[in-house]
Structure 1
Amino acid sequence: MNKTLGSTLIVAGTTIGGGMLAMPLTSAGIGFGFTVTLLILLWLLLSFAALLFVELYQTVESDAGIGSLAEKYYGRFGRILSTAVLLTFLYALVSAYVAGGSSLLAALLPVINDAETTSRIAGVIFTVVFGIFIVLGTSSVDKINRIIFFSKIVFFILVLFLLLPKVRLENLLEIPIDNALIISASPIFFTSFGFHGSIPSLNKYLDGNVRALRISVLAGTFIPLVAYILWQLATHGVLSQTEFLAILQQDPTLNGLITATTQITGSEMIGGAVRLFSALALITSFLGVALGLFECLEDLLKRVNAPTNRVFLGVLTFLPPLAFALFYPQGFIAALGYAGQMFAFYAIVLPIAMVWKLRKMYPNLPYQVKGGTPSLVITLIIGVFIVIVPFLIQAGYLPNVVG
């Protein structure tokens, strides 16, 4: 039960992070009602997809990675494709979180030479300090994640306590500036429930216990859904679209969110509370996603009989994201959008393809996700559509979100 609770908190902690912080940045022009509708639909979609992984893990060893799982059903091609997509997705997410962490930490550090240098130093500090827990292992991540997660909840409650009294009904009733923005924002919102890269680590940690993993998935994603709706109520209710968009056009980063909150509410206390909550949210999300990336690289190196020294794996895990943050400090939203595109393939297309074969090979498994073939087909169509959304934005068929 202790491990189940820890796994549930890792799911929730990984989920309540960068994607949540990006929501106000990308939904400022959408409106509260449509934002909540999008959240509920994506929660149902991604919880269903996560349970497909639970179903799949009944047929392999508890320490099998996604590459090993895909190879079981699609051979070497499946392993290569799934590993490549997963690595790209996880690197994009970790890059976004390092960039966001750099932005937040740099605002607290004294200026060293110039703002750019300060941001780079902040990125190194953030990566090294919290990357150490990943190198030490899942157990250390579980312990530090529990502390930070509960601290994050305290500050989240404080933020809600300060913001909710300032909510104005007219702000909540604002309609989208452009209805197509709802579609454009979907890949970024999609990552808000993106803990799926951590499922192999959780399954290994739970020793392949299907029931425990299922509980962790359902409870661990429901907590963020409730938190997201309250977060949207607070931010959309306090920040009018016109004022919010004007500030974000000048600074489409997490500091822009904090600046907007401080300026519009006129309260330094609220701005400080949002900053602390943002930092804690980023850290827990960083820990969960980086752990998944670390385990994926370990699985890959074992496959090719390469050395798997944990320090070397740590360098492989964090050097590329750190380089991204150092040379593209404004890339928080861009990295999340790209991660959403990769994540749609990894979290929806891939498990559906594997479950399709799984159910033919093992028709009588103890646990099978409900919905049958129709639910798989509908989910697949939605996943493919989310994959092509960024291309539609680049082609000019859909409007771009802030950032």
Structure 2
Amino acid sequence: MVMLYHAMGDRMITMTNKPSIFGGASIVASVCVGAGMLGLPTAGAGAWMLWSALALIITMLVMTVSGWMLLEALKNYEYRASFSTVTKDLLGNKVNLVNNVMVYFVGGILLYAYITSAGLMIEKVVNVSSEVASILFAFVFSAFVLHSTRSVDRVSVILIIFMILSFLFGVFGLTFNVDMSNLFNGFSQESHYFPYVFAMFPVALTSFGYHHSVASLRSYYKSEDLAKRAILIGTLIALCLYVVWVFSVYGNLPRYEFGPVISQGGDVDVLLSSLGGAIESERVSNIISIFSAAAIFSSFVGVGLGVFDFIADLLGFENNRKGRMKTWVATFFPPLVLSLFFPFGFLIAIGYAGAAATVWTCIVPALLARKSRAMATGEAGFVAPGGSKMIVLVVFYGVAVAVLHFMGVLGLLPHPGL
């Protein structure tokens, strides 16, 4: 029987036990659908349903193709090669340094945020302090990453299924109480809402930031085509969850009632309280809390896997027990320490994560694909669709979203009066 070495772990797997597409798609979806999803309704409150859905669809398509571009650039490298290796080789040390800083900045900040948030959630259920809860969470869930990509696959599938079920039960009442007149307000009103859509794009981009896991997926499947399918299915799962969620919220809460939610910075408790008139608020709050916990736990292992493989390649750690332990320490110890001593320090930095993410989710993958094609000789192999025009489009999208992000920070984007 043909045997394949599982490069992400230290085991042998058979062709009859090959990785499933849904497992890889679950990793992608789990990375995308973090707790930040609950900020989407507030980000799109000005643009409302049609323009928000359009922003999400456009972003999903661009981010899927940009992930495929990174996959294309990796095709000529060994399976354990990561983002850092291919960027350094094709774009040089300076670009690689900037990209590495951006990748680790966003990945590290997310792990930092997830550890803090998980600790606070567990503290409410178990009679331990948030610090102890954070330590327990970090050690237990990072163990899946330490073991192998296949372990992350399995736990991601379980968490994604649990997340979807809790999500469906949580929004079931909302979805069937949707008032269509709340969603669509006529052509003249929809045209008036258009300027507010620009505030949605930075949030939408960060909601599809899975690219630090692309190299891990390629190594896991030993195939660009299988990784491509997993990426597409994963981003489609995320898109469906996002659209159903904003549809359910906007269909139950009229646009003019979003004023208090926006004034409180999009606080989820305020949003759920505002939805109380549509469905029993405590029940929705409890189920959405369960959903949020599943989203944070699954995002932690998904993001952790991407950062883990990135660090291993960057620092040249071996793929054996000792090497993986070194990688584990470099990946999870810094965000854990920060979470214990400065639990909410990530709030200062996370506001800039969206702009940093545009570098390694759009701009660099497109430049890598361009360089890879220019250097190609012989058989082409896997190529992302769209040709050179798509490369220009992806770069333009990344730059535009970065500009919109800083315009939002400076208060230069249209703000809905509601």
TM-score range, shorter chain: 0.7 to 0.9
Q: Post-superposition shift, 1:47?
A: 0.9
Q: TM-score when scaled to structure 1?
A: 0.86
Correspondence for 2:197: 182
2:79 alignment partner, SS class: coil
1:59 alignment partner, SS class: coil
Structure 1 residue corresponding to 2:49, chosen from 32, 35, 49 = 32
Residues 153-212 of structure 1, C-alpha deviations (whole Å, 9 max, x = no match): 2112212322212222233236689755422332221111111111111111112x1211
Partner Cα separation in structure 2 for residue 36 and residue 131 of structure 1: 34
Correspondence for 1:321: 335
Residues 276-326 of structure 1, C-alpha deviations (whole Å, 9 max, x = no match): 11211221122111111111111122179xx96434433332344345555
Within 5 Å, give how 1:204-215 maps onto structure 2: 204-207=219-222, 209-215=223-229
Partner Cα separation in structure 2 for residue 17 and residue 395 of structure 1: 26
Task: Check conservation: 1:96, 1:335, Cα contact below 8 A.
Answer: no
Within 5 Å, give how 1:5-24 maps onto structure 2: 5-24=22-41
Residue 10 of structure 1 aligns to which amino acid in structure 2?
Answer: I
State yes or no: 1:63 paired with 2:80: yes
State yes or no: 1:357 paired with 2:368: no
Structure 2: 5+ residue runs without aligned partners? 1-17
Correspondence for 2:305: 291
Q: Post-superposition shift, 1:268?
A: 1.9
Task: Check conservation: 1:301, 1:308, Cα contact below 8 A.
Answer: no
1:62 alignment partner, SS class: coil
Distance 1:80 1:359, change over 3 A: same
Structure 2 residue corresponding to 1:153, chosen from 157, 164, 167 = 164
Q: Post-superposition shift, 1:145?
A: 1.3
Task: Check conservation: 1:73, 1:357, Cα contact below 8 A.
Answer: yes
**Number of aligned residues:** 392
Correspondence for 1:89: 106
Partner Cα separation in structure 2 for residue 135 and residue 272 of structure 1: 32
Residues 210-262 of structure 1, C-alpha deviations (whole Å, 9 max, x = no match): 21111111122112212221111112212334444414534744455555445
Correspondence for 1:397: 412
Task: Check conservation: 1:39, 1:225, Cα contact below 8 A.
Answer: yes
1:193 alignment partner, SS class: coil
- Of the structure 1 ranges 351-360 and 362-371, higher mean CA displacement relative to structure 2 is found in 362-371
Task: Check conservation: 1:100, 1:253, Cα contact below 8 A.
Answer: no
Q: Post-superposition shift, 1:78?
A: 3.9
Structure 2 residue corresponding to 1:345, chosen from 353, 356, 359 = 359
State yes or no: 1:136 paired with 2:153: no
Q: TM-score when scaled to structure 2?
A: 0.83
Structure 1: 5+ residue runs without aligned partners? 113-117
Residue 204 of structure 2 aligns to which amino acid in structure 1?
Answer: F
Correspondence for 2:12: none
Correspondence for 1:115: none
Distance 1:340 1:204, change over 3 A: same
